[in-house]
Amino acid sequence: MIEKEYGIKVTRVEQELQGLLIAGMQAQQLQVEDRSAGLRIIRTYFLRDKVIAVTTGVIRQAGSATP
């Protein structure tokens, strides 16, 4: 994505996973019950040893959406 969009060749990606409770507005946006279990994914993209981008996302358990 970064290579395609910005023409920068990523040389390394580090990914960190964290368990969390999805609460409040985030729970509403993900359509899950307040304080549901979720996973935060943090990706750090590098060009050699220089950080060029950091992304963060939260995912919910499959099938946990509220009607």
Predicted local distance difference test score (pLDDT) of residue 66: 56
Q: What is the pLDDT of residue 63?
A: 62
pLDDT digits (tens, 9 = 90+) for 1-60: 888 888 999 999 999 999 999 999 999 999 999 999 999 999 999 999 999 999 999 998
- The CATH code for residues 2-60 is 3.40.1410.10
Instruction: Return the closest-CA partner of residue 11 out of 43, 50, 39, 63.
Output: 50
Q: Which two tokens stand for residue 59?
A: 């995912």
User: What pLDDT is attached to residue 32?
Assistant: 92
Q: Are 30 and 20 in contact (CB under 8 A)?
A: no
Residue 8 in 3-state DSSP?
Answer: coil
Long-range CB contacts for residues 52-60, cutoff 8 Å, separation at least 24: 52/2, 52/8, 52/10, 53/2, 58/20, 58/22, 58/26, 58/30, 60/22, 60/30, 60/32, 60/36
